[in-house]
Amino acid sequence: MSTPTTPVRTERIGSTLLITLDRPEARNAVNAAVATGLTAALDELEADPELRAGVLTGEGGTFSAGMDLKAALRGESPEVEGRGFGGLTEAELAKPLIAAVEGYAMGGGFELALACDLIVAAEDARFGLPEVKRGLIAAGGGVIRLPKRIPHHLAMELLLTGEPVDGRRAGDLGLAGRVTATGQAVAEALHLAERLAENAPLALAAVKRVVRAADGAPDADAFAFQRGEMKTLMASADVREGMTAFAERRPARWTGR
């Protein structure tokens, strides 16, 4: 468990690491301390073989209001070198990360959610990229990722107007994979993480690597990369265990090797 003084808390729940942005007085806006704390939490997730997935959420009924503008004016940076905004938006994590969004996910907060592999949203959550209203663009991944997640013209409408959508609309657009009643996003995300943990950790990591490598690449290059991943998987103990467990009609016992 993280110390009470850090603005990012971690809690181990089974094989899942629940990561909570804990600056409710600032609507969990990201300053240098949050970026450092989130980086440490993600490192904890990646380093522990007993942890299979992470859930990212915010304290006080808000996911994150994005960049802390007051801190930025004081010269604080919300970015971590090589890992982007909040230590997440440019990080390449091996393990699945789920955003559990209650309340506002605005600007950089929305970009943190977009950097996750899955999004669970409360029906009254609010997603928006209002940077154009401040003379900026959503440079933490919003402009790059949103048009890949939802239809082009809908993404452009959100990016060019800066207007938000609620969780129900996010679900309709396919932005949020699951939509819950208010207050239930974390519980649903933890349940989803348990489902992911039933699968082979090497295979989950390989899926993420292939998806990243195939993004924008010619099919021939993507398939070549995938063949390398499959060769590695086929030589693993987990593949032998998965096939044996299927034949014996029992749950697999993954070792991550």
The pLDDT, as a whole number, for residue 5 is: 65
Do the domain assignments include residue 213? yes
Same structural domain for residues 225 and 103? no
Same structural domain for residues 156 and 244? no
Known active-site residue 59: no
Which structural domain range is residue 209 located in? 201-248
Q: What is the pTM of this model?
A: 0.95
Q: Which of 59, 79, 102, 111 is catalytic?
A: 111
The pLDDT, as a whole number, for residue 2 is: 46
Q: Which of 59, 79, 102, 131 is catalytic?
A: 131
| pLDDT over 90 percentage in the chain | 96
Known active-site residue 131: yes
Same structural domain for residues 49 and 114? yes
Same structural domain for residues 132 and 106? yes
CA distances from 223 to 143, 163, 209 (A): 27, 39, 12
User: Tell me, what CATH number does 107's domain have?
Assistant: 3.90.226.10
Provide the number of structural domains found in the chain: 2
Same structural domain for residues 116 and 163? yes
Same structural domain for residues 216 and 189? no
Same structural domain for residues 125 and 161? yes
Do the domain assignments include residue 255? no
The pLDDT, as a whole number, for residue 6 is: 84
Summarize pLDDT for 31-74 with one digit per residue, the tens. Answer: 999 999 999 999 999 999 999 999 999 999 999 999 999 999 99
Summarize pLDDT for 161-209 with one digit per residue, the tens. Answer: 999 999 999 999 999 999 999 999 999 999 999 999 999 999 999 999 9
